[in-house]
Amino acid sequence: MENQNQDLDRKKIVDFCGKNIRYIAAGVILIILVIVLAVTVAGANKNKEGQKEENVAGEEIPQDTEKDQEAENKPEEFAVDAIPEINTLMQNYYTAYASGDTAALEACVTPLTDLEKSYIGIMSQYATGYENIHCYTKKGLADGEYAVSVTSDMRFEGIENTAPGLSFFYIRTNESGAYYIDNVYSPFNLEKREVTLDSQMESFIAEYEAQEDVAKLASDTQVKYEAALTADEALNTMITQTIPQALRDGSGSPEEEAKEPSENPEEGSQEPKDDQTEEPKEPEGGQEDGNQAPEEEQQEPEADQNTSETVYAISNINIRKEAREDSDKVGSALIGQSFTRTGTTEDGWSAIEFDGGKAYIKSEYLSTEKPEVPEGEEPQQTEENNGDNGGVNYVPEGKTLTLNNAMNIRKSMNEDAEKVGTAAPGDTITVILSYKEGWTKVEWNGTTGYIRTDLLLNN
């Protein structure tokens, strides 16, 4: 009976399914679709999350790259007093510079020219030392090389306060690994350009000085420098008047003994060097104790032979008011310059016509035969250099001149130096400083260069 009932139930189910097969199939399909849709949606969400994570990671990578690029392009910052060997090198350099010890300097720098040695000799008469020396270093063009900005306070004899300063140096390493200063790129040659500068190094220095921290250091130092000069009149006078005058004159100090000039025309072909190009000291006389008589008690030596002849300077030499070595200097004679000699003295002086009157030159530096003059150094016999300028062989700083003639402006104090340009008649130039070497540094059309001083005096 039970089996019959089970058979009856299965039959009912089969009959039900047969009658409703369409609806059952539709339901199964619907369920399958729901399951497939659910799986698809879940997979899509997972993909989105993965893509999001990838996008986030992808955004971070460019940000890191950008930061790396910024760090790479950012100029190197100063390292202050970070290399003890360089600090020691600069300390030795400034100590030798202040004392005028060129032998010690040659152990620190290369090259050291004769012109700079002369400059050092003059500066050492006034500077007593450098204090508070600090080295601001950055890497140079190659390994073992450094660009260095050095700040210091310069002290002068008899002056209480110091003058702040900033100088650029380029440090290299020699074969033994020791640091030295490449003096081609030190302050003196960067201004005078005696030694030709490498174009790559010039570009490097220009880019270095344009960097923000370098420019700020220079600006801050300049502010301190100007404040120091404003606060101390004696310091101001020393820097703006005394030292520039000494550099023009070529004398170590106002009281320094005069020195004998070169008798070689080639060596004496530049402008006179004021008291440094002086005659040999005459024997002192007239006093039993050997001391020179006061100026008011001295009498001008009488000419022992009257004459009237043309003579020529065989070297650059000074012209004196009276026939003695300590007499006032009234002018300068250039090699090859002619004068009318009116007489001679027993102790070796020649009286000449000068500036509408009479003056004296040591006879040994005059000749009746005109000497050979190096090309380009022929003196112009004009009123300006034959007396009307009072024998002045420099042009005052800051003076503005309008040129009457075209003049070449050169990069350094040499006739063979590269030209900065040619100033035309009517152009104006501003004088920066005249030098004992016979050249004047000028500013023209926004650039600086050198013009022969005698050409400017004759302008």
Asked if 147 contacts 205 with a C-beta cutoff of 8 angstroms, the reply is: yes
Output the pLDDT for position 271. 39
Q: Average of pLDDT values for 119-125?
A: 88
Least confident of 34-38, 129-133, 195-199, 256-260: 256-260
Output the pLDDT for position 286. 35
Q: Average of pLDDT values for 369-396?
A: 54
| Residue linked to tokens 């009116």 | 342
Q: Which of 238, 247, 250, 369 shows the shortest CA–CA distance to 314?
A: 369
Share of the chain above pLDDT 70, in %: 68
Question: How buried is residue 315: exposed, middle or buried, by Cβ count under 10 Å (0-12/13-18/19+)?
Answer: buried
Phi, psi of 35 (to 5 degrees): -65, -45
pLDDT at 257 over 70: no
pLDDT tens-digit readout, 436-456: 778 888 888 888 888 988 888
- CA distances to 47, 324, 448 from 36, in Å: 16, 123, 86
Q: Which of 47-56, 176-185, 235-244, 375-384 has the highest mean pLDDT?
A: 176-185
pLDDT at 329 over 90: no
pLDDT at 155 over 50: yes
Q: Which of 416, 399, 402 shows the shortest CA–CA distance to 452?
A: 416
Output the pLDDT for position 194. 82
Q: Average of pLDDT values for 251-262?
A: 36
Phi, psi of 62 (to 5 degrees): -60, -35
pLDDT tens-digit readout, 44-70: 665 555 555 555 445 554 555 555 555
Output the pLDDT for position 88. 94
Other CB atoms within 10 A of residue 157 CB = 11
Read off the pTM.
0.47
Asked if 345 contacts 351 with a C-beta cutoff of 8 angstroms, the reply is: yes
Output the pLDDT for position 108. 92
Residue type, 354: F
Angstrom distance (rounded) from CA 242 to CA 233: 12
pLDDT at 37 over 50: yes
pLDDT tens-digit readout, 411-430: 888 888 888 888 888 888 98
6 Cβ neighbours under 8 A, 6+ residues apart: none
Asked if 129 contacts 155 with a C-beta cutoff of 8 angstroms, the reply is: yes
Q: Average of pLDDT values for 121-148?
A: 93
Output the pLDDT for position 191. 84
Q: Average of pLDDT values for 277-306?
A: 41
Which of the two residues, 151 and 267, has the higher pLDDT score?
A: 151
Angstrom distance (rounded) from CA 454 to CA 331: 13
163 Cβ neighbours under 8 A, 6+ residues apart: 153, 154, 156, 225, 228, 229, 235, 239
409: helix, strand or coil? strand
Q: Is the peptide bond before 111 cis (omega within 30 degrees of 0)?
A: yes
Angstrom distance (rounded) from CA 14 to CA 16: 5
Question: How buried is residue 184: exposed, middle or buried, by Cβ count under 10 Å (0-12/13-18/19+)?
Answer: buried
Q: Average of pLDDT values for 150-174?
A: 94
Relative orientation angle of helices 199-210 and 212-231, to the nearest 10 degrees = 70
pLDDT tens-digit readout, 94-114: 999 999 998 999 999 999 988
